[in-house]
Amino acid sequence: MSKTTKIITSAMVILLIVVGFWYAIFHYQNLAPTETMKVRIASLPNAQGLPIYLALEKDYFKDAGLDVALLKFEAPNQIIDALLQGQVDLTHPGGATGIAGIADFKNPGKLKIYALSGGDMTVQNDAILVKNNSSITSIQDLKGKKLGIMAGTIQWQTIAREILAQNNLEYDKDVKIVEIALGLQAQALASGDVDAVLCIEPVPTIVKAKGIGKELVPFAAAKYISNPFYGGAGIIRVDFAKKNPNTTKKVLDVIAKATDEINQNPDAARQYLKGYTQLDDTTISRVPILHFKMYSNFTQDDINAVQKFYDIFTKYNVVNGQMDFKHLLYSPLVN
């Protein structure tokens, strides 16, 4: 074989290797699954969902190329079940922080918390309400009475249990517990179906604005459970985030943008509660705008507060062990 022939042969071999390499890359890319741009977000009609409501109304998701569907649920437990069954991809920041912790304890590694929402002793997340003409003036006066709580949630069952225990009352023995859907709590108090109701915003605002009732205990969870109290959480499916890291980043970037807007100008943001909650034009101006935080802004005080909340589930044997909030903290897969 001549020297020229050897050179030509070597060049052809190298060319074939290069072409084969690039073909393999192209073929692999074509076979690789494409990330979905369709995102299903679970929602309850509560004030904790404001970042999602604002982002939807301002077309922030659409501008990011995302096709977002907001799926409505009646109870927090239903949302966690839907997440675990792959029926939704994430929740707005009003998913149940406590139920997410319980689910993670029983089925580790399937859910992460990307946001928190709640209140403290200045910004009200929840309250115990009674009718305006009620003779009940203290929690102790609830003995022998009916207390309404949100239906279908071990979170608020356990919170109510702890609040009553701190006032020397036994849950569902000294005080009868009645579970009521969020949208029916004001009506139940007005009709006398219950003597008092432990409820989250916007129910306290609606009840007071309509002259139905008044606060027996304002800032209830912040007073008796943890301060600050983060009852709401943005929860995301781990498998969705892993399969769709870039889509997940886009979604959370939009939510972070909306959250920043709310925190910078709460009064301008409150208008976006209309249509997603029971609030109307007269009550929207009165509802407290909650504290909203994305995972990147969680402080040690926030983490400690949620952990203190989580510890009551161990105290009442909801779980056989300690729930660890740090295990649930979301960490981005794409920077």
DSSP 8-class letter at 92: -
- The pLDDT, as a whole number, for residue 31 is 38
Question: Can you say whether the dihedral through the CA atoms of 93, 94, 97, 103 is positive or negative?
Answer: negative
All residue ranges of the chain with pLDDT < 50 are 6, 11, 13, 15, 18-20, 22-32
Beta bridge partners of 111: 237
Q: Give the whole-angstrom CA distance, residue 29 versus residue 24.
A: 9
Instruction: Sheet with 126-131: list strands edge to edge.
Output: 176-180, 146-150, 196-200, 126-131, 213-218
Burial label for 170, CB within 10 Å (0-12, 13-18, 19+), is exposed
The CATH topology of domain 38-122+228-328 is D-Maltodextrin-Binding Protein; domain 2 (3.40.190)
CA distances (Å), origin 37, targets 50, 67, 246:
22, 6, 9
Per-residue b or e along 220-249, where b marks 16 or more CB atoms closer than 10 Å to that residue's CB: bbbbbbbbbbbbbbbbbbeebbeebeebbb
Identify residue 332 by its one-letter amino acid code.
P
What are the CB-based long-range contacts (under 8 Å, 24+) for 278-284?
A: 278/45, 278/183, 278/186, 278/202, 278/203, 278/206, 279/202, 279/205, 279/206, 282/209, 283/202, 283/205, 283/206, 283/209
Tokens of 314: 């161990």
- The pLDDT, as a whole number, for residue 8 is 53
DSSP 8-class letter at 289: P
Tokens of 53: 């409501």
- The pLDDT, as a whole number, for residue 50 is 98
Pick the closest to residue 156 from 312, 277, 45, 293 (CA basis): 312
Q: Give the whole-angstrom CA distance, residue 236 versus residue 55.
A: 17
- The pLDDT, as a whole number, for residue 17 is 55
Decide: 129 and 189 in contact? Cβ < 8 Å: yes
Q: Could you tell me the pTM of the whole model? A: 0.87
Pick the closest to residue 210 from 287, 136, 263 (CA basis): 287
Q: Give the whole-angstrom CA distance, residue 52 versus residue 263.
A: 14
CA distances (Å), origin 168, targets 93, 143, 161, 219:
33, 10, 10, 19
Outline which parts of the chain fall under CATH 3.40.190.10.
38-122+228-328, 127-224
Q: Give the whole-angstrom CA distance, residue 276 versus residue 57.
A: 11
Tokens of 199: 């409820």
Lookup result for tokens 């069954």: 85
- The pLDDT, as a whole number, for residue 11 is 47
Rg (CA), the chain: 25
Q: Give the whole-angstrom CA distance, residue 112 versus residue 109.
A: 8
Q: Among the CATH numbers 3.90.1150.10, 3.40.190.10, 3.40.50.261, 3.40.50.300, which is that of 127-224?
A: 3.40.190.10
DSSP 8-class letter at 228: S
Decide: 95 and 41 in contact? Cβ < 8 Å: no
4-45 pLDDT per residue, tens = 554 555 545 454 554 445 444 444 344 346 899 999 999 999
